[in-house]
Amino acid sequence: MTVRLSRRYEFFASHRLHSASLTDEQNREVYGKCNNLHGHGHNYEVELTVRGEVDPVTGCVVELALLDRLAEEQILAPFRYRNLNEEAPVFRTVVPTTENLGVEIDRRLRAAWERTFAGGEPRLDKVRIRETDRNICEIAQIR
């Protein structure tokens, strides 16, 4: 029986939406107040969804302690209480929108997943970022 298990994590970070490829006026047009020079921040929620067979002995799809360790190393340690633009190298050149933050978390987690599970079960099914109650981004294996 294949199931999906989702687990949520939270971190608080700040960011500024500003693209070096756009003029100041274009930046204000695209990002509105999110382009404010000094940045602002959010209570981010990350939901990781794992997919696989339920282990007949433990009744689990994934060992939760292992999932929590991957989340700590790949998501919480690098982003918790951070200014994303200043402290996450990737966001020096990439704009830290919800989409790009999701893509980066997905990329980091998949690399660690590959090192841990070597392509076997369980699979990482989905990464979902909730920036505010109104804005949610999901990176699924559409690829």
Which residues contact a copy of itself (rule: CB under 8 A)? 1-10, 12-15, 17, 19, 21-22, 30, 32-34, 36, 38-43, 47, 49, 51, 54, 57-61, 63, 65, 80-83, 86-87, 94-100, 102-103, 132-140, 142-143
> Distance (Å, rounded) from C-alpha 84 to C-alpha 129?
15
- The nearest distance, CB 16 to a copy of itself, in angstroms, is 9
Whose Cβ is closer to a copy of itself: residue 74's or residue 97's? 97
Cis bond before residue 89 (omega within 30° of 0)? no
Whose Cβ is closer to a copy of itself: residue 8's or residue 69's? 8
**Cβ-contact 112, 70 below 8 angstroms:** yes
Strand partners, 129: 46, 137
Whose Cβ is closer to a copy of itself: residue 94's or residue 112's? 94
Distances in whole angstroms, Cα of residue 72 to Cα of each of 30, 76, 114, 131: 33, 5, 16, 19
Residue 13 CA, chain-centre distance (Å), reads 12
- The nearest distance, CB 115 to a copy of itself, in angstroms, is 21
- The nearest distance, CB 126 to a copy of itself, in angstroms, is 9
